[in-house]
Amino acid sequence: MNFEDELQARFDAHEMSQKIRLTRERLLVARVVARQPDEFTAEELVEAIQAQQT
């Protein structure tokens, strides 16, 4: 199972109790977080997300 499939499965399981959809934006954030080192700041996360969008 690839990253997106596993993430979709986890969101689907969570969605049942929380009514949260897996949007394009949430998937982008999850991908960027998965690529970050063990520790990162919010600013580093925002920069990495912005770099992915360009």
pTM of the model: 0.66
Q: What is the total count of domains within the chain?
A: 1
- What pLDDT, on a 0 to 100 scale, did the predictor assign at position 45? 93
pLDDT, residue 19, reads 72
Cα dihedral value 35, 39, 44, 48, nearest 10: 0
Q: In terms of Cα–Cα distance, which of 52, 53, 38, 31 is closest to 22?
A: 31
The predicted-structure confidence for 1-54, as pLDDT tens digits, reads as follows 787 788 778 777 776 667 777 788 888 888 888 888 889 999 999 999 999 887
Give me the domain span that covers residue 7. 3-53
